[in-house]
Homo-oligomer: A and B are copies of this chain.
Amino acid sequence: MDDEGTLMLGKMIIAVEGIEECEEFAGLIPEVRTNLVYAREVARTREDVLAVDGRITVVDGRPRAAGWVKFGSSSHMARLVLEVRKVDPSVRAGIDFAWTPRLWRWLEGYCRERRWVVSVIDRRGEPEEIREGEGASMPWKVAEAVRAAGGKVPKIFYETGAIGKEPVTVLVGHDPIEVSDQACEIARGYHGAG
């Protein structure tokens, strides 16, 4: 493993342990579970993206990583971050968590206070020829998130209206520790607001 990869592994461990210690985050883990991803500075394929093998699930009421962190172990979130980076290469990390109308209303206020750009991907607007293949959808989805945010890469976004797909909230950032800290702060804030 090269030095960049080794340092990335270290950061991911810290980030994942942060999630595991945040009991409130268990309430935000969706049916499809959470993944946390981290792309190399120069990243082309999912093999250049670190993720949690088996994702992060809820065991005994607490978040728990199912396996170790590994390059290539995510498909969906890895491709999402790779696509976002085409617009803003400073984005290297991302996490997904549950979406509900109530959480989103709360998040809109939360993001406004922090001047974080939010966005929504309404998949009902997706051209049918794109909707077919998962591979074809990702570029359209990220382009749509950026378009709906007025040309900027949003900090937080979700997609809605897809048949057969659970809606999830996505948060992106520069670093998995930053992204993990922000996700935990959201979990605690939302839990406290409950």
Interface residues of A (CB under 8 A from B): 1, 3, 5-11, 13-14, 17, 31-33, 53-55, 57-60, 64, 66-69, 160-167
Contacts and interface: CB of A to CB of B under 8 A. Distances in A.
Nearest to A29: B54
A7 B13 CA distance: 11
A11 to B, nearest CB: 6
Nearest to A70: B17
A17 B72 CA distance: 15
B11 A6 contact: yes
Contacts of A54: 57-60, 64
Contacts of A31: 31-33, 166
15 contacts: A5-B10, A8-B10, A17-B68, A31-B33, A32-B32, A53-B60, A54-B64, A57-B57, A57-B66, A59-B67, A66-B66, A161-B163, A162-B164, A164-B165, A164-B166
A10 B59 CA distance: 20
A4 to B, nearest CB: 10
A9 to B, nearest CB: 4
Given A6-B14, A10-B9, A54-B58, A167 B166 contact: no
Nearest to A123: B163
A100 to B, nearest CB: 10
Given A9-B10, A162-B164, 20 more contacts: A1-B10, A3-B7, A6-B10, A6-B11, A7-B10, A9-B9, A9-B13, A10-B11, A10-B13, A13-B69, A31-B166, A33-B57, A53-B59, A54-B57, A54-B58, A54-B64, A55-B57, A57-B66, A164-B167, A166-B166
Question: Which 9 A-B pairs rank lowest in CB-CB distance, beginning with the nearest?
Answer: A10-B10, A9-B10, A6-B10, A54-B59, A59-B67, A31-B32, A9-B13, A54-B57, A59-B66
